[in-house]
Structure 1
Amino acid sequence: MGNDNPTNASNVRSDRVVTNSQGNPINEPFATQRVGQYGPLLLQDFTLLDSLAHFNRERIPERNPHAHGSGAFGYFEVTDDITDVCGSAMFNEIGKKTRCMVRFSTVGGEKGSADTARDPRGFATKFYTEEGNLDWVYNNTPVFFIRDPAKFPHFIHTQKRNPETNLKDANMFWDFLTTPENQVAIHQVMILFSDRGTPATYRNMNGYSGHTYKWSNKKGEWFYVQVHIKTDQGIKNLNNEEAVKIAGENPDYCGQDLFKNIKEGNFPTWTVYIQTMTEAEAQKLPFSVFDLTKVWSHKQFPLRRIGKMVLNENPKNYFAQVEQVAFSPSHTVPYQEASADPVLQSRLFAYPDAHRHRLGANYHQIPVNCPYASRVFNPSIRDGPMNVDGNLGSEPNYLSTAKSYNYTQASKPIQQHQEVWNGPALPFHWATSPGDADFVQARGLYNVLARTPGQQQALAHNVAVHVANACPEIQERVFAMFSRVDKTLGQSIKREALSISPRSSSQQAKL
């Protein structure tokens, strides 16, 4: 039979005798208890009720953003010594391997949406380290659309469905992004509507922290850090028409590609790098180090290699190991901390809150989320629905004076001399900056696209095809916004969009 440990969630019979949920063997799976051969059913038929009641509850709420995704397991291996930057145990020895799980996803679509939609891609990694689980909850783009966290629900709503029509709505999409105070999104919009906006596979895209983090060494020296996870398979993207075609033929194209390649032994790998910056260097930047819409110069802050990530194991059960996996930037380990980036700070709350809603208060006890390499001990985090780890037995559920407890913070006093904040509590709306400050990096990206023949034209085409579905007033705002990046770009978008969706004389008269 199975394992006799009552707290073992994997207590499954090895003899394959089929039972109900309480372990009572079932005689015949499709027979139901009735009054006579053709009479009504009996309420005492627990086998039937057990099956139907569980069926009604077998779906959990899908993630709001990042609902559609795929995942795999593997390991991270240290290739270079960075103990001068970070004291985390996972980096303490060259050659050290740490088991990890990665989930790739799209952002705006529902669980059944297409892999090849024009959308950023989530690139979330859970490391099962000896100091606890560490989550790097990243995207495949180095910047994002907002830097005011209060705008996140509004932004995501505009990328989903119109509440009246239940359809995707180009007016909603572009209305938010072209509002003057929100045009700080232009850099990310440029990435999204270049061919980089539709990666060909999960194996052929990078991952970026986007946010600035704070890492410390064991001496107490600390640095601002950004992480880059660069594909060893090479970047490969789809053009607009290829992506649309694949979406109709095989909406699970990227998930299938990932599973198939790992199954066949073609394990995808990524090389991991960091950029580091001191507090003094941050004060000299032409933008805030906490600005999620900006990238750091590679010339000024060069990439430094730290390790290799390999995915070599497919999940055995998608629901248990991918649908139930729970990532959060607040799941961290010693010597790796969040910075004062306001969007990152808001995510520290929002992600665990989402998991408690979707999976329950004890989501950390689900095997894929368990910090098995370090284990857990906290007497006050107890009880709640689906508590399956023994609930600490007879241990008092508070810090009892009759018990002894060990703490490690005294051995690493690294906070006192770090960032010191002083000022009044005040509301601050970090809107688009005056002038072109928030368009400089977008303009730089447009110039980089010129290095690859046809990519500037592809950007204009991709925007035009999408904005052709918007109303004339919002179209004009889109043309104007992209003209601030480059006048030729704005004109190219306008010319193609109006050729796809010509305006009537009455529409032209209103402008």
Structure 2
Amino acid sequence: MSNSRKDLTTASGAPVGDNQNSITAGNNGPTLIQDVHLLEKLAHFNRERVPERVVHAKGAGAHGYFEVTNNDIANYTKADFLSEAGKQTPMFIRFSTVAGELGSADTVRDPRGFAVKFYTEEGNYDLVGNNTPVFFIRDAIKFPDFIHTQKRDPKTHLKDPNMAWDFWSLSPESLHQITILHSDRGIPATFRHMNGYGSHTYKWVNHDGEAFWIKYHFKTDQGIKNLDPKLADQLAGENPDYHLEDLYQAIEDGNHPSWTLKVQIMPEADAQHYRYDPFDVTKVWSHQDYPLIEVGRMVLNRNPNNYFEEVEQAALSPANFVSGIEASPDKMLQGRLFSYSDAHRYRIGANHQALPINRAKSNVNHYQRDGNMRFDGNGGGSVNYEPNSYDGPKETPENKIKPFEVSGFADSVSYDNDDHYSQPRALFRDIMNYDERERLIKNFADHMSGVRDERIIARQIKEFYRVSPDLAEGVAKELNTEVPEEVKE
């Protein structure tokens, strides 16, 4: 036998004599239960797909590196991977759509996930954001309800604009995000031609213990490009994997996409008096108030070798911080700190962070043991509790979070500011040109044309009127209806 020959075996290593014919009683069967190779193949096949993600089910991934380009960033954070210009950190990114299932089309009008895992020397840092700087809601308690409206009707099992617009028209904080979603940027041309945002506010802490509030902006170096809705619909039928294919082929061809990371930096004390709540994820910070500061450059230069292993099993969570980067009081972020890691525990198991794509490049030392699919030695014979007398891992007090003051009564309360209109108004009136406004109106009307309940249409047009009478009147005209008189008073 040649040493280069690969013998087919069972999962336990036993040689397989026949992989074409099951063991039967005679030529015509029936099949015998003793055919353990057959049973193993069928049983494994039934389990080849882990449950798909509830959101961001369909995605594409790539490996690359992040390089710091600004020495001054070390003045704002003690995070080691941002400590000096020229420092490179390996990273992995997963792009995705949000509402669709694994087999859905890439070119639908939907936000795109933009989730980056930095394999730093001090552990993994995950920045799990989108291609928009804001979100539909600002409290995690509303997230399951919101996502239900983006999925399928429990009766018809069809996508239903009535559900989506019923929720949005009753949730005016969504106005900023749905305006962006129905603008030209609602359908990116490719993953390479869109920006990425951390969306939430985060906290940086430097070596002197000073704290700063941070917003992340990944600016595409390829330039912003978007798809016309008609072309997007055509591509959805002809090549539903258009974005996945584009990213893979660009990297294979050596056309490595890149993004420049910039941040907005707010001194900690400014949060007390800024004109918008800086932790409200439905709001942006003015670039005039807090200009963009360059941090570094992210380059994607390697495709996954195996999609399931590296993309489907990728588990990114905003709870994965490194020293010098912390959470803010953002209510949506606070909920995500739990929900993302919990989703991974359900979907791919309690030991998902030990999988190669998720495992930190730095040493991992903890007292967590056992659980499904423990394949990495399970801590061997070392002690599994702390404190102990046996030289087990010890905490490092210098890595505690920076203390922050909290006050008030424990209660179910909203944010103090309910101005849901000024920022989408500025986007519509001041940033979009005439043609962009007209296309936005058309996109809104096209989506709302599937709404069956006239009460929902009237309610949403009222909300549009509070943004801009021109917006409300334009959408109403496209839908052959009127702006309700009471909202004009």
TM-score bin (small chain): over 0.9
CA shift, 1:107, in A, is 0.7
2:411 aligns with 426
1:6 aligns with none
* Unpaired runs of at least 5, structure 1: 1-12, 503-511
Conserved 8 A contact 1:105-1:123: yes
1:469 aligns with 2:484: no
What's the TM-score once normalised by structure 2's chain length?
A: 0.95
- Among 8, 20, 28, the residue aligned to 2:18: 28
Mean CA deviation greater in 22-31 or 68-77: 22-31
- Among 453, 460, 466, the residue aligned to 1:484: 466
1:145 aligns with 2:136: yes
Q: 1:142-167 deviations in whole A, cap 9, x for unaligned?
A: 00011121110000001111111111
Conserved 8 A contact 1:220-1:412: no
CA shift, 1:414, in A, is 5.7
Q: 1:109-147 deviations in whole A, cap 9, x for unaligned?
A: 111111111111100000111100110001000000111
Conserved 8 A contact 1:468-1:475: no
Aligned equivalents of 1:14 and 1:340: distance in 2? 59
What are the equivalent positions in structure 2 for 1:282-431 lying under 5 Å apart? Answer: 282-371=271-360, 373-378=361-366, 380-399=367-386, 401-405=388-392, 407=394, 409-412=396-399, 415-416=402-403, 419-430=404-415
Residues 14 and 369 (structure 1), Cα distance of their counterparts in 2 relative to 1, 3 Å cut: farther
Q: 1:188-222 deviations in whole A, cap 9, x for unaligned?
A: 01000101111110000011111110011111111
What are the equivalent positions in structure 2 for 1:61-80 lying under 5 Å apart? Answer: 61-80=51-70
Q: 1:255-275 deviations in whole A, cap 9, x for unaligned?
A: 110001000000000000111
CA shift, 1:449, in A, is 4.3
The number of residues matched between the two structures is 478
What are the equivalent positions in structure 2 for 1:169-180 lying under 5 Å apart? Answer: 169-179=160-170
- Among 30, 33, 58, the residue aligned to 1:40: 30
Conserved 8 A contact 2:365-2:393: no
CA shift, 1:286, in A, is 1.5
CA shift, 1:498, in A, is 2.5
Q: 1:424-468 deviations in whole A, cap 9, x for unaligned?
A: 2111134982xxx211010111124433x5111010000111101
CA shift, 1:413, in A, is 5.8
3-state SS of the aligned residue for 1:352?
Answer: helix
Aligned equivalents of 2:185 and 2:201: distance in 1? 22
Aligned equivalents of 1:449 and 1:167: distance in 2? 35
1:113 aligns with 2:109: no
Aligned equivalents of 1:260 and 1:414: distance in 2? 42
Aligned equivalents of 2:448 and 2:15: distance in 1? 60
1:450 aligns with 432
What's the TM-score once normalised by structure 1's chain length?
A: 0.91
Conserved 8 A contact 2:315-2:352: yes
Aligned equivalents of 1:214 and 1:405: distance in 2? 31
1:508 aligns with none
3-state SS of the aligned residue for 1:233?
Answer: coil
Aligned equivalents of 1:203 and 1:29: distance in 2? 43
3-state SS of the aligned residue for 2:27?
Answer: coil
Q: 1:305-357 deviations in whole A, cap 9, x for unaligned?
A: 01000000000111110000001000111110111111100000000100000
Q: In structure 1, what residue type is equivalent to 2:474? A: S
Conserved 8 A contact 1:184-1:431: no
Conserved 8 A contact 1:229-1:270: yes
2:486 aligns with none
Q: In percent, how many aligned pairs have the same letter?
A: 48
CA shift, 1:408, in A, is 5.7
Conserved 8 A contact 1:190-1:459: yes
Residues 413 and 469 (structure 1), Cα distance of their counterparts in 2 relative to 1, 3 Å cut: closer
Aligned equivalents of 1:414 and 1:221: distance in 2? 12
3-state SS of the aligned residue for 1:294?
Answer: coil
What are the equivalent positions in structure 2 for 1:194-273 lying under 5 Å apart? Answer: 194-273=183-262
3-state SS of the aligned residue for 2:49?
Answer: coil
1:7 aligns with none
3-state SS of the aligned residue for 2:342?
Answer: helix
* Unpaired runs of at least 5, structure 2: 483-489
Conserved 8 A contact 1:208-1:227: yes
Residues 383 and 174 (structure 1), Cα distance of their counterparts in 2 relative to 1, 3 Å cut: same
2:47 aligns with 57
Conserved 8 A contact 1:449-1:455: no
3-state SS of the aligned residue for 2:15?
Answer: coil
Aligned equivalents of 2:241 and 2:25: distance in 1? 47
CA shift, 1:384, in A, is 0.7
Aligned equivalents of 1:14 and 1:475: distance in 2? 69
Mean CA deviation greater in 474-483 or 209-218: 474-483
Aligned equivalents of 1:72 and 1:153: distance in 2? 29
1:167 aligns with 158
Q: Would you identify which runs of 4 or more consecutive aligned residues in structure 1 move more than 6 Å? A: none
CA RMSD for the aligned pairs?
1.7
2:94 aligns with 103
